[in-house]
Chains A and B, each alone.
Chain A
Amino acid sequence: MQSSPEILKALENESIEILRETAASFAKPVMLYSIGKDSSVLLHLARKAFYPAPIPFPLLHIDTTWKFKEMISFRDEVASKYGLELIVHTNQEGVEEGVTPFTRGISEYTRIMKTVGLRQALDKYGFDGAIGGSRRDEEKSRAKERIFSVREAGHRWNPREQRPELWRTYNTRLRPEQSMRIFPISDWTELDVWHYISQNEIPINPLYFAKERPVVWRGDQMLMVDDERFPLINGETPENRLIRFRTLGCYPLTAAVESTATTISEVLAEVSEVKLSERATRLIDGDKEDSMEKKKTEGYF
C-alpha cells in the first residue's frame, strides 16, 4: 500500500473536517485516548483541526490497570506537554471483584474492564459524542461502520439499521437516549498511520521500537512480563529478547514481535513487509469469527 504525501493530505483534510463537525455538533464530545499510534495520530489531527485554539474537548482513557507501565508514563507526559484535559476511568467494581486477564476468560475480562468501563465513563460524564481511532482496514465489522455511528440506549450498535450517511453531509442529530461514536480516520490504513507519524514527527510510545525486554512464550505468542503480577509457570524465567509491539493494549493480551527496528523509518520498512493483519497480535480477537462485531454491539469501540 502506497501512502503518498497527496494521499495523506487528502486523508488529513477529511479527518479534520470530521473533527470540526463533531466539536460543532455535540453538547459534550470526548476523544478516546488509548495511547497507541492511532490515538497519537488522532490527537495530532485534533491539534491541527482547532489550531490556534486548544482542543475543545477532553481526552478519556479507560485504564484497565493492566496497561504497560510505559503506556501510562507516556500518556501522562503527552497530557502535560500539550496541556490536555485528560480523564482516566477504571471500572472499580471490576477491580474489586478481582477481574484480571488471568482470572476470567479474555472476552469476559475485556467486556468488564474495557466495554463496561467505557460505558460507565460515558454515562458518568454525560458525553454524547465519543471520538475513536478505529480504521476500516482493521477488521471486517469495522469495514462496515459509518463515520458518524449512532449508538442506541445502552451504547448499543445496531449494525443492521445504520443511519444512511451520504456525501460529506453528516447527520449528527440524536434522540435523548442515543449517543454517537465518531471515527475520523475510518479511511486510513495502518501504513498511512505510520507514514503520517513519520512525516509529521508525531511522538509515539517507545514500546513501538525494538528493545531488549523480558518475555515468556504462550503457545506461539510472545508476551512481555511487565510486572510481578504476571503468573509464571513452575520454574519459568523470562528471557530477554529484542522485541517491539505492533499494537498496544493490556500487556498480558498483547503479543510482541521480534524486531530490530529502533527508528520510525525502520519500523516503516518492517510494517511495509509484514503481510499479517495487525490485530493478529491481539489475543482477544481470535475468540470467535465475529467477536469484534459482538463486542461492538455491546458498546466496545
Chain B
Amino acid sequence: MATPKTKPLIRLLTCGSVDDGKSTLIGRLLVETDSIPHDTVATARSVRRGGSTIAAGEIDFSLLTDGLEAEREQGITIDVAYRSMSLLNGSRLIIADAPGHEQYTRNMAVAASRSDVALVLLDAARGVRSQTLRHLTICALMGVSRVAIVINKLDVFDYSKEKFEEISAQIAPAVARLNIGEHAIIPVSALVGDNVVFKGKNLDWYTGPTLLEYIQNQNLAEDAMTSPHFGIQYISRVDTFRGLAGTLVNGKFKVGDEVVILPSKKKATIAKMVTFDGELTSAGHEQTLNIVLEPEVDAARGDVLHLATNAKPPADRFTANIVWLGESELIHSRSYLLISGSTSTPAIVTTIKHKINIESGEHDSARTLKMNEIGVVEIATDSPVALSNYSDSRETGNFILVDRSTLNTVGAGMIVHALRRSENVTEQAYEINAEKRAAQKGQVGKVLWFTGLSGSGKSTIANELAKELYALGRHVYVLDGDNLRLGLNKDLGFAKEDRAENVRRVSEVAKLMMDAGLIVIVALVSPFRVDRDQARELFQPGKFIEIWVNTPAELCAKRDPKGLYKKAAAGDLPNMTGIGQEYEAPLNAELVLDGTLELRVNTDIVMEIAK
C-alpha cells in the first residue's frame, strides 16, 4: 500500500488560560522561524502598550498577534488570530491563536473546530486552571487529534524539573479521563526562548523534542477514507449542461459509480466529473467538482451523494454533543435552524440529557445550556439529513444551530449517533383523511390561535366564538392554556423553555384536532414569536390563523381576572408576561383585535373568518 500523503495544510491551535503566554509563544515561534515581515517585527520592538514591562528594544511578541484595538488597549486576546508559516516537511502550518478568557470560549471553539494539533499552555506558577480543563475538554470533544500540554514560564522556577513533573502529574488525570489519544508534555519558556524553536541551555534535563520539532514530527496523514460524501452546494447550469457542484470528502468517486441521492434515496450513475482543468475519471478527498448524473434525477442544494453500495440512511433524530455559543440560553423545544455544510433544516432539542462539568468531567443535570456550557442533547430535525457520527468524520458529523430570529450561530454540535427510532417510524397514510372528516361535518378544519397578554380577553372572545359556531352547527373545540396546564401540561412552568414546550404541545394537539375535522380555537398567551412561528409551520398555508388580542398592559393589569398581576407586583411571579418576561407582539398576524372594544364587535370580526 502506498504511504498516505501528508496533509498539505496543518492547522494548529494554541489555547490555555489567559496570561499563560500564548501570544508570546506564537510570536516567538514566528519570529525565530523568520515567518514575519521585518517591518512588522520592528514595530513590535518600538511600540509599547500600557503596563508593558518589556525592555525597550526587545520584541513585544504579543503585539504580533493581538490585532484588534480593544485587544491592544486591554492587553487581552478577544478573538482568534490566524498566522501562517512553513514546516520543514513542506507542509503549511496555519496557527490559530485562541483567546483564554472564559467569556471568549466560543472563539476558542471556532479555532478548535478545524485544528489538527493543539498546544494547551499552562503557566508553571498557576498550574492547572479551570480554563485549562475547559480548553482540553473542547479539544477532545472537537476531535483535535494531537495535543501537546506546554508548561510555560519555567524560567520563573529556575527551570526546575520537579516543578515540571509536579504539573505534569496535576494534568494527567484530566488527560486520561478525556481520552486524549496522542499527547505530549513539553517544558518551555516562551519569554526567554527555551525549547520553542531552539533548545536553549536551561532545560538540559529534558531530552524530548522542542516545540517546533514536536509540531514538525506530527506527520499528519490523511486517514484511509472509504465513505465518500458529496454535499451539493450549487446547481451549475448553462445551455444543456446541468452539473451538481460541491466538494467531495472522505473517499473517492469514479465515473460509472452508482450513487444514491439523500434524503430522496433516488439512484443514478456518475456520467461525468467536470472541472475547469478538464474532466476527471476519478476524484478524491477535498476535490471540488461538478458531477453530471445519468439519468439527470432531481437533486438540489443541500442534498448529498453517497455510493449506492455504501449509503448511510438519513435520520431525523440524533444524540449530539453541543457547545452553546449563544448569548441567550438553549431553549428546549424551540425551533432552531440546523446547518451542516450546505444542508439546512429546522430542528428542535427534544431532551437535554446532561451538561458536562468541566472540572470533574461528571454529568450534571441541566434544564438548559448557557453560553460556553457543554452538554449532551437529543435533537430532532424536521426532515431527515445524511449526517455521520462526528467520531467517523469531522466534515460530515458537525452541525451548527442558528437562532431563527437573530440568525446568529448559537450552538456547535457534534453527532454522537443517530437514534434508531427515526429509521423505524414511517408515516402511515389513511384513506379517511382530514378533508373527508371535515366534509362529513360540513365544515373546513382550521386553527384560530389567539395570543396576547394575560387579561387581554382571549378566553372571553374564544368562549363567545365557540358559542356562536356551535349555534351554527359547527364542530368546535377550545384549547385553553390554563385548562391544559391542569392536565397535559401540568409538568411545565413558565420559564422560556417551558413556554416553548407548552406551545409545541398545544400546536401538535391542535393539529390532531384539525386533522379530526374540527375548528380549533387556541387561547394561549404564547408570548414568543419564534414559538408561534414554529406552531404555524405545522400547518398548510391558510389553516393557521394568528389572532393578536391587542389590549394595553395597563388595562390588562386593571382587569386582572386571575389576580396574577397583583401577585407579580408582589414579586411572586418572576416570569409573568409583560412584567418579568417580554411579550413579543406578532409581526404578521392574520388579525389584530383591539382589546379595548366591546366583546360583541371583536366576536363579529372573528366570525367573518371562522365560519
The answer to whether A20 and B233 touch across the interface, beta carbons within 8 angstroms, is yes
Q: Is A290 an interface residue (CB 8 A)?
A: yes
For B113, what are the chain A residues with a Cβ–Cβ distance below 8 Å?
166-167
The answer to whether B412 and A144 touch across the interface, beta carbons within 8 angstroms, is no
**Which chain A residues in 151-168 approach chain B with CB under 8 Å?**
159-160, 162-168
Determine which of A7, A13, A52, A163 lies in contact with B409 in the assembled complex, contact meaning CB atoms within 8 Å: A163
- Decide: A166 near B409, CB < 8 A? Known: A11-B9, A276-B39: yes
With the chains together, A144 CA to B86 CA distance in Å?
Answer: 20
Determine which of A11, A174, A277, A294 lies in contact with B37 in the assembled complex, contact meaning CB atoms within 8 Å: A277
The answer to whether A143 and B233 touch across the interface, beta carbons within 8 angstroms, is no
Q: Is A221 an interface residue (CB 8 A)?
A: no
Determine which of A52, A163, A290 lies in contact with B69 in the assembled complex, contact meaning CB atoms within 8 Å: A290
With the chains together, A21 CA to B275 CA distance in Å?
Answer: 17
With the chains together, A47 CA to B34 CA distance in Å?
Answer: 35
SS class, residues of chain B in contact with chain A: mixed
Expressed in whole angstroms, the minimum distance between the Cβ of A151 and any Cβ of chain B is 13
The answer to whether A1 and B81 touch across the interface, beta carbons within 8 angstroms, is no
Q: Is A48 an interface residue (CB 8 A)?
A: yes
Q: Is A17 an interface residue (CB 8 A)?
A: yes
Expressed in whole angstroms, the minimum distance between the Cβ of A161 and any Cβ of chain B is 9
**Which chain A residues in 1-24 approach chain B with CB under 8 Å?**
1-2, 4, 6-7, 9-13, 16-17, 20-21, 23-24
The answer to whether B236 and A2 touch across the interface, beta carbons within 8 angstroms, is no
Kindly supply a per-residue 1/0 record for chain B positions 469-484, scoring 1 wherever the CB is within 8 Å of any chain A CB and 0 otherwise.
Answer: 0000000000000000
| Segment with Cβ contacts to A, from B50-58, B117-125, B173-181, B395-403 | B395-403
Q: Is B486 an interface residue (CB 8 A)?
A: no
With the chains together, A175 CA to B405 CA distance in Å?
Answer: 8
Expressed in whole angstroms, the minimum distance between the Cβ of A207 and any Cβ of chain B is 22
For A198, what are the chain B residues with a Cβ–Cβ distance below 8 Å?
none
Expressed in whole angstroms, the minimum distance between the Cβ of A103 and any Cβ of chain B is 28
With the chains together, A17 CA to B243 CA distance in Å?
Answer: 15
With the chains together, A181 CA to B587 CA distance in Å?
Answer: 29
With the chains together, A51 CA to B236 CA distance in Å?
Answer: 8
For B519, what are the chain A residues with a Cβ–Cβ distance below 8 Å?
none
Kindly supply a per-residue 1/0 record for chain B positions 382-424, scoring 1 wherever the CB is within 8 Å of any chain A CB and 0 otherwise.
Answer: 0000000000001100111010001111001000000000000
The answer to whether B238 and A54 touch across the interface, beta carbons within 8 angstroms, is yes
For A143, what are the chain B residues with a Cβ–Cβ distance below 8 Å?
65, 67, 81-83
With the chains together, A290 CA to B275 CA distance in Å?
Answer: 42
- Decide: A166 near B398, CB < 8 A? Known: A49-B288, A144-B80: yes
CB nearest to A4 among chain B residues: B90
Q: Is A186 an interface residue (CB 8 A)?
A: yes
Expressed in whole angstroms, the minimum distance between the Cβ of A164 and any Cβ of chain B is 5
The answer to whether B288 and A16 touch across the interface, beta carbons within 8 angstroms, is yes
Expressed in whole angstroms, the minimum distance between the Cβ of B26 and any Cβ of chain A is 11
With the chains together, A21 CA to B5 CA distance in Å?
Answer: 28
The answer to whether B286 and A13 touch across the interface, beta carbons within 8 angstroms, is yes
Q: Is A265 an interface residue (CB 8 A)?
A: no
With the chains together, A54 CA to B236 CA distance in Å?
Answer: 9
CB nearest to B339 among chain A residues: A169
The answer to whether B37 and A276 touch across the interface, beta carbons within 8 angstroms, is yes
For B514, what are the chain A residues with a Cβ–Cβ distance below 8 Å?
none
**Which chain A residues in 236-283 approach chain B with CB under 8 Å?**
275-277, 280
The answer to whether B402 and A171 touch across the interface, beta carbons within 8 angstroms, is yes
The answer to whether B275 and A51 touch across the interface, beta carbons within 8 angstroms, is yes
The answer to whether A52 and B106 touch across the interface, beta carbons within 8 angstroms, is no
The answer to whether B114 and A164 touch across the interface, beta carbons within 8 angstroms, is no
Q: Is A67 an interface residue (CB 8 A)?
A: no
- Decide: A53 near B84, CB < 8 A? Known: A13-B247, A17-B288, A171-B402: no
**Which chain A residues in 132-163 approach chain B with CB under 8 Å?**
136-137, 139-144, 159-160, 162-163
Q: Is B40 an interface residue (CB 8 A)?
A: yes
Q: Is B270 an interface residue (CB 8 A)?
A: no
CB nearest to A8 among chain B residues: B8
The answer to whether A51 and B274 touch across the interface, beta carbons within 8 angstroms, is yes
With the chains together, A170 CA to B275 CA distance in Å?
Answer: 23
With the chains together, A164 CA to B398 CA distance in Å?
Answer: 14
Expressed in whole angstroms, the minimum distance between the Cβ of A33 and any Cβ of chain B is 19
- Decide: A293 near B67, CB < 8 A? Known: A4-B8, A137-B84, A174-B407: yes
Q: Is A289 an interface residue (CB 8 A)?
A: yes
The answer to whether A276 and B398 touch across the interface, beta carbons within 8 angstroms, is no
Task: Using CB atoms and an 8 Å cutoff, list the residues of chain A in contact with chain B.
Answer: 1-2, 4, 6-7, 9-13, 16-17, 20-21, 23-24, 47-54, 136-137, 139-144, 159-160, 162-171, 173-175, 178, 186-187, 189, 275-277, 280, 289-290, 293-294
Beyond the given pairs A10-B286, A144-B81, A159-B78, 12 more chain A to chain B contacts, judged by CB atoms under 8 angstroms and listed by A's residue number, are A6-B8, A12-B288, A17-B233, A20-B233, A20-B245, A23-B234, A140-B67, A164-B412, A171-B402, A187-B82, A289-B72, A293-B69
Instruction: Kindly list the 9 A-B residue pairs having the minimum CB-CB distance in the complex, ordered from nearest.
Output: A140-B67, A277-B37, A48-B276, A6-B8, A53-B238, A166-B113, A51-B276, A173-B407, A290-B69
